[in-house]
Structures are given as structure tokens and as C-alpha cells.
């Protein structure tokens, strides 16, 4: 065997060892700790604010049946499968209301909504939190033009068409990028929860990050099914795909989930 063939074999062996070592490090550092909806309900405190009789979403903690996964392209992974049960809270705030979704301890979304003079809940801030291999990526979307997300009687406005707002998304990993949010009322549907049918208005909230040639770009399509007889989030889904330049190189990200509330009633505290 020639000397250069031996050197090539040794070099390839070193590369393989390094790759295996990196995958082991990724596996050790990567965490997906499930949440406990009952524990979240026990700690839930919504006494700091009140709606004073203004129409609003019901407050409390709900458990959801969940399916879905998230994936980031770092050496072929990791892939996170979401637990079969997750938690979501709706709380009153001094500004309006907040929707806090906990998929696991390292992955959550928070929508802060402020109420206007007409009782509509307008988007103030979206916090999207991910953790992969010990690296935290938290994106805050704010500075938006007024955009209503929920309001009483919104099912009557199906024919009004979509509305959009310009915002800024700031990521701890990839920096700042312009974002356009679009809200659309898709219609009224029947949702079966625990064997009973419930009417819901279905809305789509789409985030378009960057532009096709920008270093950071992507699309997040959130859908919510708001109960009409009980103002509760009966179902929620996400379909997302993004890419970004970061200190770690070019990263690709995909995520999808589908959540169904287990009961109309919130969990006891």
C-alpha cells in the first residue's frame, strides 16, 4: 500500500472520529424536558390584572394532546419530537392578555396582546424560544403596526379579507430582520372535544421573515381555533421553515405541531 493511501486512510479515520465525537457532544448537550400541566396550573396566578367585564378569552391553564417535531440542520440533527401532552396558559395582563404555550421546558411561545378601545386584542410582542444542544435562540417580534388577533364577533368578519402589519424580529443568534405578519379569518368550523362538538372560528397568523435573498428568511404559519361558545383556544397548529446565517454557519430549521385541547374547562389550580 502506498504512503499517500495510508495517509488518506488515517485522515479519513480522524474525520470519522471527530464527527462521532461531535454527535456524542450534541446528544449530551441537547435536552427536551417535558412540562407538567398540573404543576403549571398549581403555580398559575392571574390575580394581578382584571378585564373588568370586558369581553376576553377565558383565563387559566389547559392541557393539550400534541403531535409534531422540530429539526435544526446541525450535523444532521437534532430532531425533537414533542411530548404527547403540553400546556398552554391564557392570563390577564395590565395591557390585555397573554397566551403562553409550553411544548417542553426548552421550547415555548408567548403572545402578548394589548386591548384597544374597541375591546380587540392587538399583537404587541411574540417571543419564540428554542434551545438546541445548549444554545438558546430567542426571537422577539415587536414594533408592529396595529394588528388585531382576537375580538368578540370576529366570526362575522370572515369576508373582510386578511390584514397585515410590519414588524421587526430580533434573534439572539441571527440578529434583526424585518417581518410581515398577516392575520386572516378562515371561517367557522365544528371541533370535537371529549366527544362533544364546539363551534370555533379559525384564524391564520402568518409571519414572513426577511426576503427570498436575505441571510435570514422563513415562514411561520400559526393557526388558532377560538371557541365561540366558550372563548378558549380549542386547537392550534404551526408549520414553519426558516434559514439563517449565524456564528455557527448557515442553519436550516423546520417545525410543525398540532394541538387539541383535552377539555373546555381549565385545569384546577
pLDDT at residue 26 tops 60 = no
Tell me what pLDDT residue 252 has. 84
Count of alpha carbons within 13 angstroms of residue 87, beta-carbon side: 19
pLDDT at residue 8 tops 70 = no
Contact 126, 147 (CB under 8 A): no
pLDDT digits (tens, 9 = 90+) for 108-160: 999 999 999 898 999 999 999 999 877 888 999 999 999 999 999 999 999 99
- The CA-based dihedral angle spanning residues 24, 26, 27, 28, taken in that order and rounded to the nearest 10 degrees: 90
Global model pTM greater than 0.75: yes
pLDDT digits (tens, 9 = 90+) for 65-76: 999 999 988 655
Tell me what pLDDT residue 1 has. 57
Mean pLDDT computed over 232-255: 86
Task: Please write down the long-range contacts of 189-194, taking CB distance under 8 Å and 24 or more positions apart.
Answer: 189/225, 191/225, 191/227, 191/234, 191/235, 193/234, 193/260, 193/261, 193/262, 193/263, 193/264, 194/262, 194/263, 194/264
String of DSSP letters for 82-116: PPSEEEEEEEE-SSEEEEEEEEETTEEEEEEEEE-
CA separation for the pair 88, 10 (Å, rounded): 52
Tell me what pLDDT residue 84 has. 96
pLDDT classification of 212: cutoffs 50, 70, 90: confident
pLDDT digits (tens, 9 = 90+) for 30-73: 578 999 999 999 999 877 666 677 889 999 999 999 999 999 88
CA separation for the pair 135, 98 (Å, rounded): 26
Which element (helix H / strand E) includes 70?
Answer: strand 60-74
pLDDT at residue 169 tops 90 = yes
Q: What is the mean pLDDT of the chain?
A: 86
3-class DSSP state for residue 55? coil
Contact 97, 59 (CB under 8 A): yes
The C-alpha cell 427570498 sits at 212
- Beta bridge pairs of residue 13: none
pLDDT classification of 161: cutoffs 50, 70, 90: very high
Tell me what pLDDT residue 241 has. 94
Tell me what pLDDT residue 125 has. 97
Tell me what pLDDT residue 49 has. 66
Contact 108, 82 (CB under 8 A): no
Tell me what pLDDT residue 4 has. 55
pLDDT at residue 12 tops 70 = no
Amino acid at each position: 500500500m502506498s504512503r499517500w493511501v495510508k495517509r488518506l486512510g488515517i485522515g479519513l479515520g480522524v474525520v470519522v472520529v471527530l464527527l462521532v465525537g461531535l454527535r456524542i457532544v450534541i446528544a449530551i448537550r441537547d435536552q427536551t424536558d417535558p412540562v407538567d400541566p398540573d404543576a403549571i396550573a398549581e403555580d398559575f396566578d392571574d390575580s394581578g390584572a382584571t378585564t373588568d367585564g370586558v369581553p376576553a378569552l377565558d383565563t387559566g391553564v389547559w392541557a393539550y394532546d400534541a403531535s409534531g417535531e422540530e429539526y435544526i440542520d446541525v450535523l444532521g440533527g437534532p430532531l425533537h419530537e414533542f411530548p404527547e401532552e403540553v400546556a398552554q396558559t391564557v392570563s390577564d395582563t395590565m395591557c390585555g392578555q397573554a397566551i403562553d404555550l409550553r411544548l417542553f421546558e426548552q421550547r415555548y411561545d408567548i403572545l402578548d396582546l394589548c386591548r384597544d378601545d374597541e375591546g380587540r386584542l392587538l399583537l404587541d410582542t411574540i417571543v419564540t424560544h428554542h434551545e438546541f444542544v445548549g444554545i438558546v435562540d430567542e426571537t422577539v417580534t415587536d414594533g408592529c403596526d396595529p394588528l388585531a388577533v382576537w375580538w368578540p364577533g370576529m366570526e362575522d368578519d370572515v369576508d373582510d379579507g386578511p390584514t397585515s402589519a410590519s414588524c421587526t424580529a430580533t434573534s439572539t443568534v441571527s440578529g434583526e430582520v424585518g417581518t410581515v405578519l398577516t392575520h386572516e379569518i378562515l371561517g367557522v368550523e365544528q371541533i370535537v372535544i371529549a366527544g362533544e362538538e364546539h363551534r370555533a372560528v379559525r384564524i391564520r397568523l402568518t409571519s414572513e421573515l426577511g426576503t427570498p435573498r436575505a441571510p435570514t428568511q422563513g415562514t411561520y404559519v400559526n393557526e388558532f381555533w377560538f371557541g365561540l361558545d366558550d372563548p378558549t383556544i380549542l386547537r392550534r397548529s404551526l408549520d414553519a421553515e426558516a434559514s439563517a446565517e449565524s456564528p455557527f454557519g448557515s442553519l436550516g430549521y423546520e417545525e410543525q405541531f398540532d394541538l387539541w385541547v383535552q377539555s373546555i374547562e381549565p385545569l384546577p389550580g
